[in-house]
Amino acid sequence: MSSSHCRSSTSAETLHRNADTSATSTGAITGHDDAFTLYDLRVEAVCPPGQRILCGAKDGDHFTLEGEMMYLPPGQGISIYSLASILPLLAAKQRPSARNDWMSTDAEIACPDPHCPSRWRIVRTGLRTFKHGDVTAVPLEPIAGREA
């Protein structure tokens, strides 16, 4: 998925949109129901004051995730080991989740070094809307029960 193909929206209505659609002769869906939303994320280092931080993070270091694109401020780095511990959670955190799902409530990830007291806080910052046809070459299958 490319950020150049994204359609920004913060409307909850967009999340629940169910526009009228039709299928083409190739089975591709046309219309507006090929939209889906992902959360933009801000991932920020939380370092306890006065404690020795072993991963190189500084309190407030951060990166943002917009769709598939990760952005770091100029001149700031992140440990590849810290990044490796965070990466598996980002795609799940980007997706809407049930209110009672732990992914909706838990936000802090421990540094992978067991002797480092730092954490990484993942915060959902807004919704971004994408269209299936803009981010993949694989067509959607027709919706069962609708005429082609």
Residue 1 has a pLDDT of 44
Q: What does the pLDDT look like over 56-83, one tens digit per residue?
A: 999 999 999 999 999 999 999 999 999 9
Residue 146 has a pLDDT of 65
For residue 85 the two structure tokens come to 């511990």
What residue ranges of the chain have pLDDT lower than 70?
1-32, 146-148
The Cα 61–Cα 9 span in angstroms is 27
47, β-bridge pairs = none
67, β-bridge pairs = none
What's the mean per-residue pLDDT of the chain?
Answer: 81
